[in-house]
A and B are shown apart, each in its own frame.
Chain A
Amino acid sequence: DIQMTQSPSSLSASVGDRVTISCRASQNIDTYLNWYQHKPGKAPQLLIYGASSLQIGVPSRFSGSGSETNFTLTITSLQPEDFATYYCQQSYIIPPWTFGQGTKVDIK
């Protein structure tokens, strides 16, 4: 299986901060990398697909970059509604598709 490792596992930030979350794959996955936001009690939401393509309806403050084994999700100006857990997910090899362990973003 391809292992996905996110860092940090959690972070505290303030509204308006720039936030960066990293995701590392255990092998080259090209740009077969997606990012999701998950809030407690809610359905996960797709943010970014293909490492850098913004899903329709997602605010432009979210962006993704990277290729091969190293990827980044950036939130340029954190908003109150952005406090959530973020997951990366590889779709290079199936089965199984694998998620990172998640990065929880909470209020400082």
Chain B
Amino acid sequence: EVQLVQSAAEVKKPGEALRISCKGSGYGFTSYWISWVRQMPGEGLEWMGQIDSSDSYTKYNPSLQGHVTISVDKSISTAYLQWSSLQASDTAIYYCARTTYTGRNSGNLYYFDNWGQGTLVTVSS
């Protein structure tokens, strides 16, 4: 069974650093990208970025680039999302998602077929 298990909820102060994790199991971890998706309070889903689990190549949402870092440790099948300095506006639920694809003549179709349970991050002074 494919599983993505995320780290526990966090409460932090503005300016603090944080790293949350997402551990994959039940599949070939390095054969898939991992994406991070956030849901801010009362809002919808927003794609933050992704990492190729085999070579750590990353792509970020331009609206967020520079504020977060996505990394992976393939030796333990774990992806990470980290901040060096949190802001109150980072308060959200963060989901990791396995990104898979179906081949097409016009280019691969990508979608998020398995998701973690979410990590609530609360940033408050």
Contacts and interface: CB of A to CB of B under 8 A. Distances in A.
**Do these two chains interact?**
yes
Contacts of B60: 95
B110 to A, nearest CB: 4
A95 B112 CA distance: 15
A101 to B, nearest CB: 5
Given A36-B112, A49-B109, A97 B117 contact: no
Nearest to B109: A50
Contacts of B47: 89, 95-99
Contacts of A101: 44
Q: Kindly name the residue among B62, B63, B115 whose own CB sees the greatest number of chain A CB atoms within 10 A.
A: B115
Contacts of B104: 50
B49 to A, nearest CB: 7
Contacts of A100: 44
Contact of A96 (B63, B97, B102, B110): B63
Size band of the A side of the interface?
A: 20 to 34
Contacts of B35: 97
Nearest to A53: B102
Nearest to B46: A99
B61 interface: yes
Q: Majority SS of interface residues in chain A?
A: loop
B45 A102 contact: yes
Size band of the B side of the interface?
A: 20 to 34
Nearest to B116: A43
B95 A43 contact: yes
Nearest to A34: B111
A95 B45 contact: no
A99 B106 CA distance: 21
Contact of A46 (B45, B46, B111): B111
A14 B117 CA distance: 28
Q: Kindly name the residue among A50, A89, A94, A97 whose own CB sees the greatest number of chain B CB atoms within 10 A.
A: A97
A91 interface: yes
Closest 4 CB pairs of A and B: A43-B115, A96-B61, A49-B111, A102-B44
Interface of A: 30-32, 34, 36, 38, 42-46, 49-50, 53, 55, 85, 87, 89, 91, 94-102
Interface of B: 35, 37, 44-47, 49, 59-63, 95, 97, 102, 104, 106, 109-118
